Amino acid sequence: MAERLGVPQSATVACGDAGNDRAMVAWAGLGVAMANGSDDVKEVADVIAPHVDEDGVAQIIERYCLNGYAGG
């Protein structure tokens, strides 16, 4: 999808919690695993988000997307 929209890999964020999300999280410019996620995903993530019940994805969006995350 990123390629199709012309978004560079470095500007992507992917959040996941299960083994089927592993490749997506590993590929993203910022790979995020949920605290309640599998060890498979946590292993490749750049960041561990709070538990989904604590609105972990919203916290990641606020911290990294709305505040001009510069990558890295």
CATH for 2-65 is 3.40.50.1000
Find out whether 19 and 43 touch, Cβ atoms under 8 Å: no
pLDDT digits 0-9 by tens, 1-30: 899 999 999 999 999 999 999 999 999 999
Give 52: exposed, middle or buried? Use CB within 10 Å, 0-12, 13-18, 19+: middle
Q: How many CA atoms lie within 13 A of 21 on its CB side?
A: 20
| 51-58 average pLDDT score | 93
Residue 70 has pLDDT above 90, yes or no: no
Q: How do the domains of the chain map onto residue ranges? A: 2-65
| pLDDT > 70 in the chain, percent | 93
What is the three-class DSSP state of 42? helix
